[in-house]
Amino acid sequence: MLITKAFSVQPHASALPEVVWLPSQLTVDYTKCTGCRICELACSAKHEGLFQPSLARLKVIRYDDLGIDIPNVCGPCEEAPCVEVCPVYAMRRDPISKMVFLDHDKCILCKSCVGACVNGVIRLDTREMRIIKCDHCGGDPECAKVCPTGAIQYGPISSGTTFERHSKIASYLREIEHSAETQSSKGGS
C-alpha cells in the first residue's frame, strides 16, 4: 500500500518564471485543520449570499481513512501558473498587493486557469458561467477570521510554506507505514 504517493512533493520547475515577494498571503497549517468546512461556508456566505460550498473560493479535502484534512487556498504562489496560462491577460497580479485577481470583463472562459491552479481552487460556476476565484476578500479574509483552529492565517510569509506542509504529511504517513511494515514483518496483521 503506497499511501504516501498521493502527497508526493512536486519538484521545482527548473525554468522559473516571474518570482515575486508576497506581502500578505493566506497560509495554511494542515496539522491544525479539523475539516469542519466552516471556512467554505463563510466564503460562500460572504461572496454569494448563500451557503454553497461548491462555490467557495477555497476547498477542504478530507481524508477520512487517514484522519487528515487539508485546506486548499489560493496561494501562496511565488510563480502563479494561472497568470502564466491565461491567454488574454484576464488573470493578473496586482502590482501593489501582489494578489492574483481576475478581470471578469476580459475573461473568455477558456478554463485554462482552472486546470492550471496548483491548489485546485479556481472554479467554473456552471450556472452563471463564470470563473470564481479568491480575491483575499480585498485584504480582510473571511475564512481566516472564522477558522476556529487557526489553520488558515493571513499575513506576510516566507516562501516555501506550501511545499513544507506537503512534506509534513508525507513524514507523518511514512511513520505510519513504517510501523505497519515492522508489524507485518513481525507477523502481526
Partner 1 sequence: MATGGYTGRILRVQLDEGDFKVDKLPQEWIRDYIGGDGFAAKLLYEEVPAGCDPLSSHNKLIMSTGPITGTLWPMSGRTVFVSKAAQTGIWGESHVGGFIGPELKYAGYDMLVIEGQSDKPVYILIEDSNLQILDAGKFWGMKTDEVTAAIKREHADPDIQIAAVGPAGERKVRFSALIINNARAAGRTGMGAVLGAKNVKAIAIRGRGAVEVSDHEAFTELAKAAHMRVRTNPQAQEMGKWGTWILTAVKQEIGELPTYNHRTGVFPGWEKLSGDYIRPRYTVSDRACFGCSLACKKMNYVREGPFAGTLAEGPEYEGLMAFGSGLGIADYPTTLKANEICNQYGMDTISAGATIGFAFEAFENGLITTEDTGGLQLEWGDSQTVIQLLEMMGKREGFGDILAEGSRAAAERLGRGTEKYAIHVKGLEVSGQDGRTHRSIALGHATGARGADHLRSLVVVDQLGYEQVARERWGADKLPEIIDPYTEKHKAVAVVESENAYCIRDTLIVCWYSVSWPPIFWMQDFADMLPLATGEKSFGDVKNLTKIAERQVTLKRLFNAREGITRADDKLPKRFTHEPMPEGPGKGQTVDLEPMLDDYYRLRGWDLDTGLPTEKKIQSLSLGWTKKYASSH
Chain residues binding ligand SF4 by CB under 6 A are 26, 33-39, 43, 46-47, 57-58, 60, 69, 71, 73-74, 85-86, 88, 90-91, 102, 107-113, 131, 134-137, 141-143, 147, 149, 151-152
44 binds partner 1 (CB under 8 A): yes
Task: Say which amino acid occupies 112.
Answer: S
**Cβ neighbours of residue 171 under 8 Å, at least 6 residues apart?**
none
Residue 68 binds which of partner 1, ligand SF4, none (CB < 5-8 A, kind-dependent):
partner 1
Residue 61 binds which of partner 1, ligand SF4, none (CB < 5-8 A, kind-dependent):
partner 1
Instruction: Report the residue from 22, 26, 28, 41 that binds partner 1 according to the rule CB under 8 A.
Output: 41
Instruction: Report the residue from 7, 57, 58, 69 that binds partner 1 according to the rule CB under 8 A.
Output: 69
3-state secondary structure of 120: coil
User: In Å, how far from its chain's centre is CA 156?
Assistant: 17
Work out how close the CB of 24 gets to partner 1 at its nearest, in angstroms, rounded to a whole number: 22
Of 76-84, 100-108, 141-149, 152-160, the window that binds partner 1 (rule: CB under 8 A) is 141-149
First to last CA, the chain: 14
Pairing verdict, β 25-28 and 91-93: unpaired
3-state secondary structure of 142: helix
CA distances from 153 to 71, 127, 148 (A): 11, 31, 11
56 binds partner 1 (CB under 8 A): no
The whole-angstrom separation of Cα 187 and Cα 189 is 7
Residue closer to partner 1 (CB basis): 139 or 148 = 148
Q: List the one residue out of 51, 71, 52, 54 whose CA is nearest residue 62.
A: 71
Work out how close the CB of 59 gets to ligand SF4 at its nearest, in angstroms, rounded to a whole number: 9
Instruction: Give the single-character DSSP code of 183.
Output: H
Q: Which residues here bind partner 1, judged by CB under 8 A? A: 31, 34-38, 41-42, 44-45, 48-55, 61-62, 64-69, 146, 148-149, 172, 176, 179-180, 183-184, 188
